[in-house]
């Protein structure tokens, strides 16, 4: 049976000159590690749901991305982490909003899905639920890295100077996500984020909202988005990809590119990763770059940040 996997680490302006090449290389290495983690699950006959969780955990643990360790700080200098996961088998979903202590928010989202009593849990109650289920809890300082302290200071200064529009993507926001197709034909998607730097306390974007930032439906597609979350929520963007395939008969490429194209005239920076039931992948974005990686059904892995694509060769189980 066909298996496939794709991941992202956020999109944006992302000028190649915006950080040293060693940083770009480190991010690509983390993307490759996430691909291998998810691919091991699929190659061993595991579930798509387990594969996307495994891949996102790697990205949450990497300081190169805005999710988990390395997440953005809000206007009060605190972390509020959001994540969701969705199983295309029955369209089951779980999500957490504004968690501050669970080390891997995607695991907390998975626990909510498996619990079956709610789709979304928020704030301290979500952290408590994760802890009661045996997930690792950490001090909020675990998520903080010096780069994000600097980004917060820079964004506050831009707010005072009226230059927020000139901020680099590194100063602002980011997201991570994964989509997978397993050997049983099931699709799954997961997304995780720290939001954007200097966001208002309590702000919620698209990442923890099934149908906005995350969507999976067996036989149709799995989607994880990245970009301006408020626009994704208003457009039900991830679900819209599936709707274009299901109701209009669009191919995956056309459906994915179409939803991004609809946002582009509005000046909305956006990107997504998507898989269909045949293992075809689409990774459109309308910004200067997008951290991304994918594995073909033949097991060939690739990662990229801008236009250049780096081949990883055939990934082992």
Give the relative orientation of helices 105-115 and 123-132 as an angle to the nearest 10 degrees.
80
Cβ neighbours of 301 (radius 10 Å): 20
CA-CA-CA-CA dihedral for 24, 140, 209, 199, to nearest 10? -70
Query: Cα torsion at 260, 38, 87, 127 (round to 10°)?
Result: -100
- pTM of the model as a whole: 0.95
Q: Per residue, what are the HEC states of 50-115?
A: HHHHHHHHHHHHCCCCCCCCCCCCCCCCCCCEEEEEEECCCCEEEEEEEECCECCHHHHHHHHHHH
Phi–psi pair at 122, nearest 5 degrees: -130, 150
- Identify the CA nearest to 309 among candidates 296, 65, 317, 297: 296
| CATH class of domain segment(s) 4-307 | alpha beta
Catalytic position from the list 144, 163, 168, 175:
175
Mean pLDDT in residue range 104-115? 98
Where are the domains positioned within the chain? 4-307
Mean pLDDT along residues 80-109 = 98
Summarize pLDDT for 243-283 with one digit per residue, the tens.
999 999 999 999 999 999 999 988 888 999 999 999 999 99
Q: 291, 290, 283, 313: which is closest to 301 by C-alpha?
A: 313
Note if 175 is an active site residue: yes
- pLDDT reported for residue 163: 66
> For residue 194, what pLDDT band results from cuts at 50, 70 and 90?
very high
* pLDDT confidence bin for 317, thresholds 50/70/90: low
Lowest average pLDDT, out of 162-171, 202-211, 280-289, goes to 162-171
Band of pLDDT at residue 166, cut at 50, 70 and 90: low
* 71, 199 contact by CB (below 8 A): no
pLDDT of residue 69: 96
Backbone angles phi, psi at 279, to 5 degrees: 85, 10
Does the pLDDT of residue 295 top 60, yes or no? yes
Q: Is the pLDDT of residue 145 over 80?
A: yes
Q: Which residues contact 66 (CB under 8 A, 6 or more apart)?
A: 10, 72, 173, 174, 175, 176, 193, 194, 195
Place of tokens 């909003």: 97
Mean per-residue pLDDT, 189-202:
94
Nearest to 127 by CA among 116, 144, 113, 139: 139
User: Is the model more confident about 93 or about 15?
Assistant: 93
**Which position has the higher pLDDT, 140 or 158?**
140
Residue 161 predicted with pLDDT over 80: no
């Amino acid at each position: 049976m066909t298996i496939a996997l794709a991941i992202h680490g956020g999109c944006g302006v992302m000028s190649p000159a915006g950080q040293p090449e060693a940083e770009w290389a480190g991010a690509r290495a983390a993307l490759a590690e996430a691909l291998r983690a998810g691919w091991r699950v699929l190659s061993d006959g595991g579930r798509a749901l387990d594969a996307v969780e495994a891949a996102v955990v790697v990205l949450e643990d990497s300081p190169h991305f805005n999710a988990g360790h390395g997440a953005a700080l809000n206007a009060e200098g605190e972390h509020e982490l959001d994540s969701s996961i969705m199983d295309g088998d029955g369209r089951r979903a779980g999500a957490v909003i504004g968690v501050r202590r669970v080390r891997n928010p995607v695991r907390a989202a998975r626990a909510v899905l498996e619990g079956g009593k709610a789709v979304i849990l928020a704030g301290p109650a979500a952290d408590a639920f994760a802890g009661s289920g045996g997930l690792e809890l950490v001090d909020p300082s675990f998520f903080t890295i010096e780069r994000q302290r600097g980004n917060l200071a820079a964004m506050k200064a831009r707010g005072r100077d009226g230059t927020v529009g000139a901020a680099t993507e590194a100063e602002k926001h980011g997201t991570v996500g994964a989509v997978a197709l397993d050997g049983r034909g099931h699709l799954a998607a997961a997304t995780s984020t720290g939001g954007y730097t200097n966001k208002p306390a309590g702000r919620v974007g698209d990442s923890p909202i099934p149908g906005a930032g995350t969507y999976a439906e067996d036989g149709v597609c799995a989607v994880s988005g990245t970009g301006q979350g408020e626009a994704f929520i208003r457009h039900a963007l991830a679900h819209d990809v599936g709707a274009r395939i299901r109701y209009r008969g669009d191919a995956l490429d056309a459906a994915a590119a179409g939803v991004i194209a609809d946002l582009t005239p509005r000046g909305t920076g956006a990107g997504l990763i998507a898989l269909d039931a045949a293992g075809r992948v689409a990774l459109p974005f309308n910004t200067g770059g997008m951290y991304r990686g994918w594995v073909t059904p033949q097991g060939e892995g690739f990662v990229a940040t801008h236009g250049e694509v780096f081949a990883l060769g055939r990934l082992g189980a």
